Amino acid sequence: MTAALLNSSITSLPLLARGKVRDNYAVGDVRILMVASDRLSAFDVVMGEPIPGKGELLTRMALFWFEQLAQIVPNHLTGDDPESVVRADERDQVRGRAMLVKRLKPLPIEAVVRGYLAGSGWIEYQHSQSVCGVALPPGLKNASRLPAPIFTPATKAEIGDHDENISFARMSEIVGAELAAKVRDISIRLYQSAAEIALRKGIIIADTKFEFGLDADGTLTLMDEVLTPDSSRFWPVEGYETALREGRNPPSYDKQFVRDWLEQARVEGQPWDKTPPAPPLPADVVAKTAAKYREALERLIT
């Protein structure tokens, strides 16, 4: 495995933005080189330690899903070789971990679909018996499967800030009612199709978030990453029923392993307040997280 990449340093292209995980570089006026680093964010805070191989695993998984779901909605892939747009001495930073994509006008929301009650949705349900304004039946437990997938959008957060769940009505105000309905309907179709594929491989997709943009013709286009452990909650089917009965989080292929550790982390004797900087991740947490990502990919594509 190649050395872990915390930050890319490509100088042959202009840097557009350095996100929580991806570094984006301009390739002319119509394309972007997206480089998936090995950075890990949790609670919207970037950890100081990279997860070796994570960027390559994320890229392989995203490419798998873009291919599987291409019949539902166009995506941002150009089909061009990412290594073709950088200098020879920069190709190691790109190889296996980058996508050359269309430059789009991003929608300022995250399209979240939940098929199971977990995370912030479970917390909200306990107080209001609803999630983002969507009423749910009584008696659900942590990790319960929902009667049908629900669409619960969120606003995008800057690095260090937290995403904010919003109602569909608020999303409609932000992007317009027609586009909001289209994003909602396509997102649910994407989730349902992916959930069926994953379940055949023994993986439950509890929830996920999609990001969309508009191309020059106004065509809605799936962008960024899709259905990776960074943007989704993946549970192996083994152990799910036991966790449900006991009311606890099921075993996870995603960042929940790190989140659970961080919830117990203490800084100068006090619980971490989920603001930067994050407490250093122990070597065993880094190694186990990398193993979770590898296992999820191997299970999906084999």
End-to-end CA separation in angstroms for the chain: 20
- Residue 244 lies inside a defined structural domain of this protein: yes
Both 168 and 113 in one domain: the answer is yes
Judge whether 220 and 179 are in contact, CB under 8 Å.
yes
146 and 218, same domain (yes or no): yes
Mean pLDDT by 10 residues, the chain (302 residues): 86 96 97 97 91 95 97 97 97 97 96 95 94 93 96 77 82 97 98 98 96 97 94 94 91 82 84 91 92 93 88
| 7 within a domain of the structure (yes/no) | no
Contact 76, 101 (CB under 8 A): yes
User: In this predicted structure, what is the pLDDT of residue 171?
Assistant: 96
On whether residue 292 sits in a domain, the answer given is no
- Number of other CB atoms surrounding residue 135 within 10 Å: 9
Instruction: Render pLDDT for 14-51 as a digit per residue (tens, 0 to 9).
Output: 999 999 999 999 999 999 999 999 999 988 899 999 99
Instruction: Say if residue 245 is in the same domain as residue 234.
Output: yes
List the beta bridge partners of residue 46.
41
Report how far residue 209's alpha carbon sits from residue 226's, in angstroms, rounded to the nearest whole number: 8
Same-domain status, 164 and 98: no
Residue found by looking up tokens 């950088």 in the block: 86
Tell whether 208 is covered by a domain: yes
Question: For position 159, what pLDDT does the model report?
Answer: 52
Alpha-helix residue ranges (DSSP H) falling in the chain: 54-68, 91-94, 119-128, 168-175, 177-200, 240-246, 256-264, 283-301
- Return the residue matching tokens 């291409």: 70
The domain that holds 239 is classified in CATH as: 3.30.470.20
Sign of CA dihedral 64, 69, 71, 74: negative
Question: Quick one: pLDDT at residue 119?
Answer: 87
Per-residue model confidence (pLDDT) at position 2: 65
User: Does residue 6 lie in a domain region?
Assistant: no
The first and second tokens of residue 300, run together, are: 């999906």
Residues 125 and 239 placed together within one structural domain of the fold: yes
Structural domain span for residue 157 = 106-268
Pair (116, 89) in one structural domain: no
Place of tokens 């932000």: 174
Whether 43 is in a domain gets the answer: yes
Domain-located, residue 28: yes
Q: Quick one: 90 and 223 in the same domain? A: no
| Overall domain count for the chain | 2
Whether residues 86 and 135 share a domain: the answer is no
72 plus 116 within the same structural domain: no
Instruction: Calculate Rg over the CA atoms of the chain.
Output: 19
Are residues 150 and 94 part of one domain? no
